[in-house]
Amino acid sequence: MVAMVEYTYLVLQLPRGTTRDVARQIMTEHAEYGGWELDRLRLYPDGSRRIQLRRKIIRQTRTF
């Protein structure tokens, strides 16, 4: 069998005024308890943040 790696994504929108420490704490909790890893983080000029997390999905495929 061959294992193919795919990802599932989770997007978090944090409002402006959210501190860097609070954003770090949210990402840490997702990483520790949900197995998520940081894929992308964008800080907008108005102070809001868009965080994209990803997690591996491993599927087994049969080979004949």
The reply to whether the predicted model has a pTM over 0.85 is no
- Cα-Cα-Cα-Cα dihedral sign, residues 29, 32, 27, 55: negative
**pLDDT, tens digit, 9 for 90 and up, residues 14-47:** 999 999 999 999 999 999 999 999 999 999 999 9
CB under 8 Å to 2, separation ≥6 — which residues? 60, 61, 63
Instruction: Tell me whether strands 2-14 and 49-61 are parallel, antiparallel or unpaired.
Output: antiparallel
**What are the domain boundaries of the chain?**
2-61
Categorize the per-residue pLDDT at 3 as very low, low, confident or very high, splitting at 50, 70 and 90. Answer: low
Which option is the CATH number for 2-61: 2.60.40, 3.30.70, 3.30.30, 3.30.1330? 3.30.30
The pLDDT value recorded for residue 15 is 96
Structural contact between residues 51 and 27, judged by C-beta atoms closer than 8 angstroms: yes
62 vs 56, more confident: 56
